[in-house]
Structure 1
Amino acid sequence: MPQLILHNANIHTLDESRPHATAITIDGDRISAVGDDQIVLEAAPSDATTMDMRGSTIVPGLADAHGHMRNFGMMAEMVNLRHAQSYEEVVELVRERSQATPVGQWIQGRGWNQENWSDKSLPTHDLLSEAVPNHPVWLVRVDAHAGVANANALRISGIPGSTLNPAGGIVGKDKDQPNGLFLDKAMDLVRSHIPDITVEKSKELLLAAQELCLAVGLTQVHDAGIDGTTLQAYRELVAEGSLKIRVYAMLARDYFDQTDVSQIQEGLFSCRSVKIVSDGALGSRGAALLAPYSDAPYESGFMLLSRDDFDATVGRALASGFQVNTHAIGDMANRVSLDVLEAALRKHGVSDHRSRIEHAQHLHMDDIPRFSKLGVIASIQPTHCTSDMFMADSRLGPQRTPGAYPWRKFLDSGARIVSGSDFPVESNNPLWGLYSALTRQNHDGQPSDGWRPEERLTLYEALRSFTRDAAYASFQEHELGSLSLGMLADLTVLDTDIANEPPQALLEAKVMATVVNGEIVYKHNLTPSL
């Protein structure tokens, strides 16, 4: 294959030895030259293909360090509830779907958020059951930590009034009868009765998600919490040559605990980590807090697993050479997660463990320096901050919000941060994530000075968290993350010079091309002269 030379470009390399260039040579799957047009073009072999990029901006391939590929692919088949402004609107959307769905077939939806409704109460099944009586219905909150089932789904799931709360979950009840609301681990009581997704269907969903991710410039996704079916689907896609985006997979804890594991590296797919979910989410008040919620003084959230089980999984992971990536949102969950990691690291003596806390949303001030001390990476989602900031004010109150989404405090304490989106909870567009990291504002520019603006990141810090630090967090920093000689050729091509435009330009910037392993796997309005 002849070399491909992209020149007359605006290249931000994220390589301190050469932060900017105008030309780059791709030889197979590697970068073989980076520099100025004249030097790179003069050294080009006669059979090289050259592309005049006409000033387009090129950055290292952007990685989303926390997404959910199969769930993202499923969104097109579910009822999208993200924009519903009331529970009545949610019910109407489901009722409309039921008219085109065979009687008795499950209807699933995702994305409702009671914080966007005038009545911010968590929903129950009565209205839904009345409107849609002939289909089992399961509707998941935007953060996937709460769900509501209609009466038909309750009947199929066999959930009587005597059903007890499982460890790490709550079965909502009114007058001692299930009201259709399920939080965290209790959601399994319904989900276990929904037909399983096959390997072939999983492949279809992963490919759908792949196209959506490549289109926004993502070259890699850290897929957070996959089961055995999804793992098999990925391996078959690799064997078929269909996987075009890099995937760094985290095995779901339930699957990891029941399986003999070993590290996997096959083509663009790698797996050497486990995801543990330690608590719920702020939106459903399942995030485990050290003190009660400010807007619900009798609730403090809850942990989703016992300390013994937590210790056992972390110990087995470290002993097996697996990275430990723990979902922790509340300050109690973050503290316990750090305690477990500290004890396990002392016991197993692993130096280069690169354990991660996924989300790390709300911390007690005393725990922030422990990330750097223990070598734990804070895996953040900038758009969570700008989606949840006003809710966080209500949930946490003014005394605790200084520890919410504390990105600057992490960096100042010496910790490393890595960024993602948690799609489909948020948009998978990494440019929107960069905007949130730089501004801590919503897309309307509010608050005008940013929410807790002292925690904002610089463009370099934010871009690094989507590139170089994402590579470090997946043990790939010697291959990915910067546009340097010898690195794998993963690039994102943009129509906007994001370094020299105001942050608002990130919201309108378009991806012109996505390059993975030296192959142009997505292009849009890319008409450079050859």
Structure 2
Amino acid sequence: MLIFGGPIYTVDTTQTKVEAVAIKDSIILFAGNLADAEVYKDESTKLLDLKGKTMTPGLIEGHGHFMGLGYNELNLDLINTASYQQIVDAVAEKAKTAVPGEWILGRGWHQSKWDKMPDNLVNGFQTHDLLSEVSPDNPVYLRHASGHAGFANAKAMEIAGLSVLAKEGIDKFQVEGGEVMRDALGRPTGIFNERAQTLITKHIPETTPEREAKAFELAIAACQRNGITGFHDAGIGKETIALYENMKASNKMNVRMYAMLTGWDEDLLMEWYEKGPMVDPDNRLTIRSVKLNCDGALGSRGAWLLEEYSDRPGHFGHETLPMPFVKETALNGLRNGFQVCAHAIGDRANKEILDRYEFAFNELPDLTSDHRFRIEHAQHLHPDDIPRFAELGVIPAMQAVHLSSDRPWAIDRLGEKRIKDGAYMWQTLLKSGVPIVNGTDVPVEPLNPIASLYASFTRKTLKGLPEEGYEPEERMTRGQALQSYTLDAAYGAFEENIKGSITAGKLADFTIYDQDLMTVPEEKFLETQVMMTIYDGEIVYAKNTD
């Protein structure tokens, strides 16, 4: 195939923009001038004229939850709900067609994004009463957008053995690394924070193989619609690994999957330490990293902070994984060739993880030459810890779109000083010498990379506010933003030699847009559409323009 006829941004410093790209099978043969590309053309060459459209390397989702993306399309998607009443209405509608006893599941609500709050609040969250009224015969569990809290109705709590009518023994509500929110009378409100979610989720029936396959297919289609050719799946277990292996064997793994083993399953980790990383020669399914969940989210006040929450005095968030286990995993990762990727949003969590990483690096210096350990989110940092990323060679995987969604209310959680000194510190981190891996954390946010790229270089909400951007000195340039979604994301997965830039010898994965990402006016950037996705040298998605 010979591709030409529009701006082609390579993310290759030797030639940042070219006129033409020639590929054969799944490999880039040439990138450069159109005249020089003609030598690769013969009677069997397919010509792809961009007709003024723009092409970049295939985009890489640097931190997401692949099956969560698929299930979001099967379950109630609450990401656009703007009030508690809208959630209640959505569940009421679903309950009309649900069989009594059938679980109603969903995800995406976020109380800090609602237009108005309900009258009855406990710790800033709604209570279950209205939800329970519309779904008396169906257990309901709705995950918070962050995934770090959930909302259950009375039926779900009844199944879990948690009475909502009378005060229970205090021990029923004690969960290490989590919180069951209760009202003044001691009754559970329906909000389960962090690890307390397991009190409910362990009662939800397991999914079926047919439903899993459908969710997988929906996730692949969503990636292709959004120009995503690579996906860093942030934490999967044994069943999902088996599913992915089956899908690859069936030639359905049509995204380059970089999967992290979930740190919740110690037996799984020991099994993989023994057999070692799986680096796929077909570049479709690679497993060489471990995901640790070390604190909660800022929205649910679960992020682990050094100082108390500004809007909840005396509360510091949650350490959701013991730090000795983080240290042990860092040592095991180095010994067995596994990258460690630790979720940390609050400044305390980031500091504690950097401390454990540093201990492991000092303990095993001969094994640290190219560890590429990561911190996922790195959202709020103490100023003293910002330079430690570069000093230790730790990669921050930061989802820029979180700023667009969270920054308007994050200041309530942290206060102005902590926000300005240490939150969403993209440019400071880049200048210190570390790459940033971008993404969306889908299904926490929609998969749309255009929104995250926009947030990266504007630091505005998706409504374009504030006019000057939040802490504008920390903006990325457009070039840095594109690199964070391509070459730097590839680097974060040890794959910069095979993808991430349009360079001869690399894989032929490309994303094509209707607007020039580098020159389109800022106010029109969010209108950009993905027109085509090329994966492994094949057109896997083309937008219907009829």
What TM-score bracket applies, with the shorter chain setting the length? Answer: over 0.9
2:460 is the counterpart of 1:441:
yes
Matched, 1:407 2:426: yes
> How far, CA to CA, are the matches of 1:377 and 1:463 in structure 2?
17
- CA-CA distance at 1:526 after TM superposition: 7.8
1:217 counterpart = 2:227: yes
Q: How far is 1:46 from its partner?
A: 3.5
Instruction: Establish whether residue 471 from structure 1 lines up as the match of residue 490 from structure 2.
Output: yes
Is 2:299 the counterpart of 1:296? no
Whole-angstrom distance in 2 between the partners of 1:164 and 1:310 = 26
1:511 counterpart residue number: 530
Q: Is 2:377 aligned against 1:359? A: yes
Shifted more, 518-527 versus 221-230: the winner is 518-527
Pairs within 5 Å for 1:364-379: 364-379=382-397
Is residue 153 of structure 1 aligned with residue 156 of structure 2?
yes
Query: Residue 64 of structure 1 is aligned with which of 61, 65, 74?
Result: 61
Q: Is the 1:498–1:505 contact (alpha carbons within 8 Å) kept by the matching residues of 2?
A: no
Are 2:229 and 1:232 aligned?
no
CA distance in 2, matches of 1:505, 1:176: 51
Q: What is the CA–CA distance in structure 2 between the aligned matches of 1:78 and 1:151, rounded to whole Å?
A: 20
Matched, 1:74 2:83: no
State the match for 1:380 in structure 2: 398
Hey, what's the Cα distance between the residues in 1 that align with 2:398 and 2:373?
A: 14
Residue of structure 2 equivalent to 1:127? 130
SS in 1 for 2:401: helix
Higher mean alpha-carbon deviation, 226-235 vs 159-168, is at: 159-168
**Equivalent-residue separation in structure 2 for 1:488 and 1:526 (angstroms):** 27
Match of 1:265 in 2: 279
Query: Are the counterparts in 2 of residues 142 and 425 from structure 1 also a CA contact under 8 Å?
Result: yes
**CA deviation profile, 1:275-310 (whole Å, cap 9, x unmatched):** 101100111101000001111112111211222222
**Among residues 108, 129, 135, which one is paired with 2:105 in the alignment?**
108
Of 316, 326, 347 in structure 1, the residue corresponding to residue 332 of structure 2 is: 316
In 1, Cα distance between equivalents of 2:231 and 2:240: 14
Q: Does structure 1 residue 177 correspond to structure 2 residue 187? A: yes
Aligned to 2:80: 83
1:202 aligns with 2:199: no
SS, match of residue 387 in structure 2: helix
Aligned partner of 1:223: which letter?
Answer: D
Whole-Å separation in 2 of the counterparts to 1:445 and 1:23: 34
Q: Find the aligned partners of 2:254 and 2:457 in 1 and give their Cα distance.
A: 30
Partner of 2:22: 25
> Partners of 1:493 and 1:127 in 2: how far apart?
46
Q: State which of 487, 495, 511 in structure 2 corresponds to 1:492.
A: 511
- C-alpha contact (below 8 Å) 1:73/1:208 kept by paired residues: yes
The match for 1:423 among 442, 464, 469 is 442
| CA apart distance, 1:257 | 4.5
8 Å CA contact 2:403, 2:461 repeated in 1: no
Aligned counterpart in structure 2 of residue 13 of structure 1, from 10, 14, 21: 10
Q: Whole-Å Cα distance in 2 between the matches of residues 189 and 314 of structure 1?
A: 29
Distance 1:298 1:488 in 2: 52
Q: Distance in 1 between matches of 2:135 and 2:302?
A: 28
**1:455 pairs with 474, 482, 499, which one?**
474
Equivalent residue for 2:348, pick from 329, 332, 336: 332
Shift in CA distance, 470/255, structure 1 to aligned 2, threshold 3 Å: same
Greater mean alpha carbon deviation, residues 108-117 or residues 468-477: 108-117
Alpha-carbon distance, 1:85 to partner: 2.6
Counterpart residue number, 2:50: 53
1:324-358 deviation line (CA, Å, top 9, x unaligned): 00110000000001011111111222221101110
**How much does 1:219 deviate?**
0.7
Give the C-alpha shift of residue 199 in structure 1.
4.3
Aligned to 1:35: 32
SS at match of 1:55: coil
SS in 1 for 2:36: helix
Determine the C-alpha separation between the residues in 2 that align with 1:177 and 1:86: 23
Tell me by how many angstroms 1:506 deviates: 2.5
1:138 pairs with 135, 141, 157, which one?
141
With normalisation by structure 1, the TM-score equals 0.96
Q: Judge conservation of contact 1:203–1:234 (CA < 8 Å) in 2.
A: no
How far apart, CA to CA, are the structure 2 residues paired with 1:433 and 1:458? Answer: 13
Maintained 8 Å contact 1:278/1:333: yes
Partner Cα separation in structure 2 for residue 187 and residue 103 of structure 1: 23
Of the three residues 389, 392, 404, the one matched with 2:410 is: 392
> What amino acid maps onto 2:211 in structure 1?
K
Task: State how far apart, in whole Å, the 1-side matches of 2:58 and 2:135 are.
Answer: 45
2:299 is aligned, of 271, 283, 292, to 283
Q: Whole-Å Cα distance in 2 between the matches of residues 322 and 230 of structure 1?
A: 19
1:98 is matched with which residue?
95
User: What CA distance in whole angstroms lies between the structure 2 residues aligned with 1:298 and 1:229?
Assistant: 40
- Residues 435, 504 of structure 1: 8 Å contact kept: no
Secondary structure at the residue paired with 1:254? coil
1:347 maps to amino acid = E
* CA shift for structure 1 position 313: 2.2
**Does the 8 A contact of 1:64 with 1:466 survive in 2?**
yes
Q: What is the CA distance between 1:229 and its match in structure 2?
A: 1.1
User: Relative to structure 2, which stretch is displaced further, 361-370 or 115-124?
Assistant: 115-124
Q: Are the aligned partners of 1:288 and 1:330 in contact in 2 as well (CA < 8 Å)?
A: yes
- Identical columns (%): 41
Amino acid at match of 1:124: T
TM-score under structure 2 length normalisation: 0.93
Matched residue type, 2:288: R
Paired position in structure 2 for 1:242: 252
Describe the superposition over 1:5-40 as per-residue Cα deviations: whole angstroms up to 9, x where unpaired: 112231111111111111111111100011111111
| Cα separation, partners in 2 of 1:37 and 1:256, compared to 1, 3 Å | farther
Tell me, which stretches of 5 or more residues in structure 1 are unaligned? none
Contact preservation (8 Å) 1:513, 1:522: yes
3-state secondary structure, aligned to 1:435: helix
For the 8 Å contact 1:327–1:358, the answer to whether it is kept is yes
Let me know the Cα RMSD of the aligned residues: 1.5
Match of 1:167 in 2: 176
Residues 292 and 342 in structure 2, CA contact (< 8 A), matched pair in contact too: yes
Amino acid at match of 1:142: A
